[in-house]
Amino acid sequence: MARIRTIKPDFWTDGKIVKLSPFARLLYIGMWNFAICDNGHVSDDSFKLKLQILPVDDVDVDELLSELIDMGRVVRVTISDGRTFLHVKRLPEHQKTDSRWSPRCPACVATSSELAETQASSDETHPNSPNHTAVRERKGKESITSAPAVSDSRPKSRYPAEFERFWSEYPRKEQKGDALKAWQAALKQASNDELIDGATRYGRDPNRKSQYTKLPAGWLRADMWLDGPIAGKNGNQVRDGKSGLLVER
């Protein structure tokens, strides 16, 4: 299922991106929209990608993919059943992610399964080894006790990693649940980086009084990431050369 993605302004001047041909850059951005999951896995099907992203352009998608792979922006991965996928490695670093998509992606499921398996040494697995029986019994016990780990990790998914980045910068940490809802609504108007930048400016503003600091939910609902520096008490201010903020003389 295609998803809406965002492009940061510094994408256009990235040292590696500018070395790509224009159509390779366009294909790269289009792959974000048609990734199977938020980890960046894409079907390894150049014909399908051509129809989805560059349907009327006279280009060879295989050549464009080779260009992206050579530049390290995309890698081709093979899972245990032999299927291959294209992996946009850095997609999770720059997009709002949702862990609910991962179970629908064969590459994510396969990768998770492979990581869960431990590699035993030849001494442990050889049937004539004196350690073989003990290792088998130990693994049997571990498989019984490891099951609760799934339920232990579930509460963490309530607050996405991108929200935690915003929360760490905002100067007042109260009513986190309300803040999450307001943050999700604010993302329809601005990127998470813009919200974080606004929260950082607000937290560092020398004219902000801690007792009057807005609750994060109210700050977000009021679009206050767009606000400039807080006015001083007497309006007698100068701009600080380091922070760029207005401060009292």
Shared domain for 104 and 22, answered yes or no, is yes
Q: Burial letters for 35-65: b for 16+ Cβ neighbours within 10 Å, e otherwise? A: bbbbbbbbbbebeebbebbbeeeebebeebb
pLDDT tens digits, residue range 219-241?
Answer: 999 999 999 888 876 555 555 55
Would the pTM of this model clear 0.85, i.e. be above it? no
Tokens 């431990």, residue located: 118
What's the pLDDT at 32? 81
Q: Does 132 fall in a domain?
A: no
CB 181, CB 163: distance < 8 Å: no
Sequence-distant (6+) residues with CB within 8 A of 166 are 183, 192, 195, 196, 199
Which residue ranges of the chain lie beneath pLDDT 50? 115-126, 135, 143-144, 146-147, 149-155
Angle (CA) 226 170 186, round 5°: 45
Shared domain for 100 and 180, answered yes or no, is no
CB 200, CB 15: distance < 8 Å: no
Shared domain for 163 and 101, answered yes or no, is no
Q: Does 126 fall in a domain?
A: no
Q: Does 153 fall in a domain?
A: no
Q: Which residues pair with 185 in a beta bridge?
A: none
What's the pLDDT at 29? 87
Shared domain for 33 and 100, answered yes or no, is yes
What's the pLDDT at 115? 43
Q: What CATH number is given to the structural domain containing 79?
A: 1.10.10
Backbone angles phi, psi at 39, to 5 degrees: -80, -10
Distant-in-sequence contacts of 19-25, Cβ < 8 A, 24+ apart: 19/71, 20/67, 20/68, 20/71, 20/73, 21/64, 21/67, 23/54, 23/57, 23/59, 23/64, 24/64, 24/67, 24/68
Backbone angles phi, psi at 165, to 5 degrees: -65, -45
CB 199, CB 214: distance < 8 Å: no
What's the pLDDT at 120? 40
Shared domain for 16 and 96, answered yes or no, is yes
Count up the domains in the chain and report the number: 2
What's the pLDDT at 123? 44
Shared domain for 102 and 172, answered yes or no, is no
What's the pLDDT at 187? 93
Enclosing domain of residue 165? 158-248
* Domain end position, chosen among 88, 110, 132: 110
Q: Does 212 fall in a domain?
A: yes
Q: What is the CA radius of gyration of the chain?
A: 25
Q: Does 116 fall in a domain?
A: no
Question: Residue 156 in 3-state DSSP?
Answer: helix
